[in-house]
Structure formats: structure tokens, C-alpha cells
């Protein structure tokens, strides 16, 4: 089956001369349609770079990225990105933030029936995200979790084939994150969007992903890809299962080994030495 996203032999550098950094070295990754893939790895291993390159926000050197059978050479309406910071328009209400997505703005000559359809889709997403009671509020009046739900709804508005998420729940408290985890899995189930999700949190990566891509730093590359054997129906209690803990330990160990530290204590010493 043709993958939804095919990354082949991808290299990405930043800077020149002595400041040249090899951010991605020979990355090969196929992602199937409707798959939920998570990316983890030590800080600086190129997770955001890989995501931004797939989004078309970064140029790359060698290699190729094909999405939906087309070479990626810039951003496109088939790919939407959600960042850690909410980046909503502060002067628009929740509903208008969701409704006036990029695609509609680009089609200034949208007919009234286009606007009506958009409004219907916005209402459906507002319902799905549990935002009905704040549909007419402004972003500053919302909690972080609510703002991120608006950002996700806005990203989904144009029915992108691919949703790219860079630590989208990184700024939320633990309880809100759990709610968001179940919500994003529900959205994935309903919308069948292909999701590529970057996180520092191995537990989050396993709970959400069907496959976890473990990346390694200096140079940034894929170290290994782990299949998550817990099926489609997941519940928070899964995190307490011994199989879940064992997988978490396996991935954490791999991240430590690839970043050159073997224990939490070594990690702490390394951090305190450099600060």
C-alpha cells in the first residue's frame, strides 16, 4: 500500500561553516494513511525539524518527502500543524478562530454557501472539542487546555489529511493532558486523520501512538521504531499495566543510551555541569 507520507534518505543542515549542524541524517520513514505515529528522543535530536520539514516549513538538502503522492516543496492545505503555544487570533472569538482557517482566507471570493458549510463544520468541531459553552468567548478568557482545543479544531477545519503536532500538550498540567489524550484519540478515530505527534513524554508517546519513532541526537536520526501492541481501544488504566511500564522502560533506556547517558543520575550530573 502506498504510504500517506514517505520520507526517504532525508538530510537537513542548519547554518554554514563551523556553525553547520546536521539536524537530520538519512531519515527514512513511511507513515500509512490514518496512522498515529509519535516521535520521541533527547532534546535536540531533530524531532521538530523533521515535523517542520514534513509540513513544508523547512527546506532540506538531500532526500525526498512525498505526501499524498506529491513532493513536499512548501506548506499545503493537506497538512496542518499544531504547536505548543496556542497561536490563536486574540481579537477573534473561539468560533471565528476555528471558522476563518487558512483555506477560507485564501479564497476571498468564497460564496455564502461556502461560508455556511464552514460554519456547520466549525459548529461540529466546537461540539466535538467540548467548546460549545465558550464558542463566543475570546482566547484570553480560556484556560490553556481550552485554547489548545481551539487550536486543534482550527487545524482540523480544512479536513487536512495529515495533522502534525509539536508537543501540543507540553504546556498543560498532567490532568488536563490526560483529558486531551483521550480527546485526540477520539478525534483520530472519528476523522481518520494521519497524525504525527512529537513529544518529550514517553508515556504520552506510547499511550497515543500506534508506532513510536525513537530518534537519536548528534546527528539527528531515527534510532528505532517500536510497534505499540495495545490495540485501538485504550483507557488511562493501561498506563498502570506491567506491559506498558516495560515498554516505557525499554524506550527510556534507548533514549538515554543514544544521548550518551546511562542513568537518571548521570543525566542530572550532565545537566548540572552544563548550567
Ligand X SMILES: Nc1ncnc2c1ncn2[C@@H]1O[C@H](COP(=O)(O)OP(=O)(O)OP(=O)(O)O)[C@@H](O)[C@H]1O
Q: Which residue ranges make up the site for ligand X (CB under 6 A)?
A: 14-15, 21, 23, 41, 43-49, 200, 220
Nearest residue (CB) to ligand X, 41 versus 160: 41
Nearest residue (CB) to Mg ion, 48 versus 53: 48
Q: Which does 147 bind (CB under 5 to 8 A by kind): ligand X, Mg ion, none?
A: none
Binding segment for Mg ion (CB under 5 A), chosen from 3-11, 41-49, 141-149, 233-241, is 41-49
Q: Which does 228 bind (CB under 5 to 8 A by kind): Mg ion, ligand X, none?
A: none
Nearest residue (CB) to Mg ion, 146 versus 208: 208
Q: Which does 15 bind (CB under 5 to 8 A by kind): Mg ion, ligand X, none?
A: ligand X
Could you say whether residue 53 binds Mg ion (CB under 5 A)? no
Instruction: Compute the distance between CA of residue 115 and CA of residue 40 in angstroms, rounded to an integer.
Output: 39
130: left (phi over 0), alpha (psi -120 to 50) or beta: left
Q: Identify the sign of the CA torsion 177, 178, 181, 186.
A: negative
Could you say whether residue 48 binds Mg ion (CB under 5 A)? yes
Q: State the burial class of residue 220 (Cβ atoms within 10 Å of its Cβ: 0-12, 13-18, 19+).
A: buried
Longest CA span, the chain: 62
Report the nearest approach of Mg ion to the CB of residue 140 (Å).
Answer: 26
Binding segment for Mg ion (CB under 5 A), chosen from 40-48, 151-159, 171-179, 205-213, is 40-48
φ and ψ of 92, to 5 deg = -110, 150
Contact (Cβ atoms closer than 8 angstroms) between residue 166 and residue 198: yes
Nearest residue (CB) to ligand X, 25 versus 193: 25
Q: Which residue is nearest to Mg ion (CB)?
A: 48
Residue ranges of the alpha helices (H) in 40-170?
A: 47-55, 94-99, 102-106, 112-128, 144-157
* Residues 12-26: b if buried by 16+ CB within 10 A, e if exposed: bbeeeeeeeebbbbe
Q: Which does 21 bind (CB under 5 to 8 A by kind): Mg ion, ligand X, none?
A: ligand X
3-state DSSP helix/strand/coil % of the chain, to nearest 5: 45, 20, 35
Nearest residue (CB) to ligand X, 43 versus 275: 43
Alpha-carbon distances, residue 186 vs 100, 192, 235 (angstroms):
24, 10, 11
Nearest residue (CB) to ligand X, 151 versus 216: 216
Report the nearest approach of Mg ion to the CB of residue 110 (Å).
Answer: 35
Q: Which does 14 bind (CB under 5 to 8 A by kind): Mg ion, ligand X, none?
A: ligand X
Q: Which does 37 bind (CB under 5 to 8 A by kind): Mg ion, ligand X, none?
A: none
Tally helices (H) and strands (E) across the chain.
9, 10
Binding residues vs Mg ion (CB under 5 A): 48
Amino acid at each position: 500500500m502506498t504510504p500517506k507520507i514517505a520520507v526517504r534518505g532525508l538530510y537537513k543542515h542548519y547554518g554554514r561553516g563551523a556553525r553547520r549542524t546536521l539536524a537530520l541524517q538519512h531519515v527514512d520513514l513511511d507513515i500509512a494513511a490514518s496512522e498515529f505515529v509519535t516521535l520521541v528522543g533527547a532534546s535536540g535530536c531533530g524531532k521538530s525539524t523533521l515535523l517542520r520539514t514534513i509540513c513544508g516549513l523547512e527546506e532540506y538538502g538531500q532526500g525526498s518527502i512525498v505526501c499524498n503522492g506529491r513532493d513536499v516543496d512548501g506548506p499545503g492545505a493537506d497538512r496542518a500543524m499544531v504547536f505548543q503555544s496556542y497561536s490563536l487570533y486574540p481579537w477573534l472569538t473561539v468560533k471565528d478562530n476555528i471558522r476563518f482557517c487558512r483555506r477560507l482566507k485564501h479564497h476571498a471570493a468564497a460564496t455564502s454557501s461556502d461560508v455556511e458549510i464552514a460554519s456547520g463544520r466549525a459548529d461540529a468541531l466546537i461540539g466535538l472539542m467540548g467548546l460549545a459553552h465558550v464558542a463566543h468567548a475570546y482566547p484570553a478568557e480560556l484556560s490553556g487546555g481550552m485554547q489548545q482545543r481551539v487550536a486543534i479544531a482550527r487545524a482540523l477545519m480544512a479536513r487536512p489529511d495529515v495533522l502534525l503536532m509539536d508537543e501540543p500538550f507540553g504546556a498543560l498540567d498532567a490532568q488536563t493532558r490526560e483529558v486531551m489524550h483521550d480527546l485526540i484519540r477520539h478525534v483520530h478515530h472519528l476523522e481518520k486523520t494521519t497524525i504525527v505527534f512529537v513529544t518529550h513524554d514517553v508515556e504520552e508517546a506510547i499511550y497515543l501512538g500506534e508506532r513510536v519513532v525513537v530518534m537519536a541526537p548528534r546527528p539527528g536520526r531515527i534510532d528505532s521504531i517500536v510497534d505499540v501492541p495495545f490495540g485501538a481501544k485504550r483507557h488511562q488504566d493501561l498506563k498502570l499495566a506491567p506491559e506498558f511500564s516495560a515498554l516505557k522502560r525499554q524506550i527510556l533506556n534507548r533514549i538515554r543510551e543514544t544521548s550518551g547517558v546511562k542513568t537518571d543520575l548521570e543525566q542530572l550530573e550532565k545537566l548540572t555541569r552544563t548550567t
